[in-house]
Amino acid sequence: MNHSHDSQLAEQIRNGQTILGIEMGSTRIKAVLTGVDSRPIATGNFGWENSQENGVWTYSLDEMWQGIQSCFAELQNQVEALTGLRIQKLKSLGVSGMMHGYLVFDAEDHLLTPFRTWRNTFTAEASKELTDCFQYPIPQRWSIAHLYQAMLKQEPHVPYIAHITTLAGYVHWKLTGQQVLGIGEASGMFPIDLQTQQYNREHMNLFDRKVLDAGLSWTLNEILPQVRQAGDLAGELTEQGAALLDPTGTLAAGNPLCPPEGDAGTGMVATNSVDLCMGNVSAGTSVFAMLVLEKELSRAHPEIDLVTTPDGKLVGMAHSNNCSSDIDAWIKLFAEATQALGMDLSPTDLYNKLLPTALQGDADCGGLLSYGYLSGEHITGFEEGRPLMTRSPDSTFSLANFMRMHLFTALCAMRTGLDVLLKEEGAKIKAIRGHGGFFKTPEVGQRIMAAATGAPVSLLESSGEGGAWGMALLAGFAVRENRTETLPDFLHKVFEGRMSEPLAPNPEDVAGFESYFKRYHQGLDIEQAAIDALR
């Protein structure tokens, strides 16, 4: 970095103008420090893994604090190397994390049971009962499903619950003393009423009857964190909180925090997709599409999860377990083939050479069909998977069609979920922001995604720094000078010149995808037969 940048940066550090975002993701904890232009100045990373203990997926909270401190120390060192200064004051900060899960405490603030993550799938009974009771989808990973399952099993800790929160809510509470959540994070604990922008009162009353019937003395109102919107302030760093972030004592207390958010919300912010009818698609090992909806859905759909944006708009989410894993497996096979022929091509070379052939294939993949189901796929009704590829004798079996088929099929389960929103509920997509490994090869992923969704697709010039950067943007929005500025307006300024030109869907590609999609649904019995036969 040049000297003038360093002196500007030093001034921002000295005057406490930088902003900090921290995210506890599923494989790493990340911290991002941004300057007055919202661009990252320094980052800190810490790898961590969940572990299964007594049949429960969990993370160690001690390890989490170690990770947060390690990330902050890394930021301090980077800032000191650039400016000769260490961070004492911040303009604002915020924390986000994996949504849902279960963290419950008693009146003395003791953790009553190890943290139960969103990955646990032992809440099927609670999920079904609450979905039927509320007539609103309550996925297994939601905090309320975990709580109700513990009630159904009459777990001994349940009578002692004084408050329940998420990972981000817990860290925020330890930093500020405040029991609050941003609305997006809260919407993954318990349904939100879009009118009041608070928990749904009718659903709370229905749940409280169950609490009463179970002979428990608390109510949901007493134990759930309070709901806050993006742009609100949600407390400030206490002396204890500052020492938790920075045990060296350099960071001062008193810095303001924005409400803690979930990783779905920070993902929407980091891709500038919080406007009505905007979608964002994260496509890699799995794929999920999120669409900001104009109105409530007419009924509960098992294929669709509902959450909200950080500024309280309804979002429909279609999540598919399988996306690029089968493509990766075939590329690995091609790598072995090229080695056997005496060539040495890296996986990146192979992706960059093979995937673009898909754009030369027949629009509908020439009659080929595959299912990349390494695991089950709830949207199409499969509890397990068998990757397979099939064709009829008169199909056009070419490399271009083969590659195109794999890219098309990777998006078919997600598209099945999206169709619930688009066809059954009449939702609209103006544009899609794409991110993830599916888009790495220039133009290919973008064109296939546009074909699958029928919407223009743009990518971030760089994927930014992901959710931690999204959290820093929300922290910046909470201390914006113009208090009437909306979150979409604030983000449009941040992202000006940072998105690629949108790629509009090609009508031939769209027609080809529709034809392939029909074949995919007609062939689901083949996938079922493979599961039955290959035990």
Find the helix or strand (DSSP H, E) in which 13 lies.
helix 3-14
Determine how many CB atoms are found less than 10 A away from the CB of residue 454.
Answer: 18
Burial of 309 from C-beta contacts in 10 A (0-12 / 13-18 / 19+): buried
Question: Counting every residue, how long is the chain?
Answer: 535
Specify the pTM.
0.90
Q: Is the pLDDT of residue 522 over 80?
A: yes
pLDDT tens for each residue of 411-444: 999 999 999 999 999 999 999 999 888 998 889 9
Predicted confidence (pLDDT) per residue in 259-306, tens digit: 999 999 998 999 999 999 999 998 888 898 999 999 999 998 988 999
Give the pLDDT band of residue 531 (cuts 50, 70, 90): very high
pLDDT digit string, tens, across residues 347-391: 889 999 999 999 999 999 999 999 999 988 989 999 889 999 999
DSSP for 369-431, please give it: EEE--SS-BGGGTBSS---EEE--TTS---HHHHHHHHHHHHHHHHHHHHHIIIIIS----SE
Q: Which parts of 26-157 fold into alpha helices (H)?
A: 61-83, 124-134, 143-152
Over residues 13-40, the pLDDT tens digits come to 999 999 999 999 888 999 999 999 999 9
Task: Provide the β-strand partners of residue 388.
Answer: 371
- For residues 89 and 486, give the distance between their C-alpha atoms in angstroms, rounded to a whole number: 26
- Is 535's pLDDT higher than 90? no
Query: Is residue 170's pLDDT more than 50?
Result: yes
Q: What is the pLDDT of residues 174-231, one digit of tens each?
A: 999 999 999 999 999 999 999 999 999 999 999 999 999 999 999 999 999 999 999 9
Between strands 226-228 and 56-58, the pairing is unpaired
What are 295-301's contacts with CB under 8 Å, separation 24+?
Answer: 296/194, 297/421, 297/425, 298/424, 298/425, 299/135, 300/131, 300/134, 300/135, 300/136, 300/137, 301/137, 301/420, 301/424, 301/425
Q: How confident is the model at residue 1 (pLDDT cuts 50, 70, 90)?
A: very low
Fold of 273-459+505-535: Nucleotidyltransferase; domain 5 (3.30.420)
Query: Would you call 344 helix, strand, or coil by DSSP?
Result: coil
Contact between residue 433 and residue 271 where contact means Cβ atoms under 8 Å apart: yes
| Spatial contact of 422 and 463, defined as CB atoms under 8 Å apart | no
pLDDT at 493 over 80: yes
Residues 6+ apart with CB under 8 A from 313: 194, 274, 276, 292, 293
For the chain, the maximum distance between any two Cα atoms, rounded to a whole number of angstroms, is: 73
Counting beta carbons within 10 angstroms of the beta carbon of residue 482, is it exposed (0 to 12), middle (13 to 18) or buried (19 or more)? exposed
Which pLDDT belongs to residue 3? 46
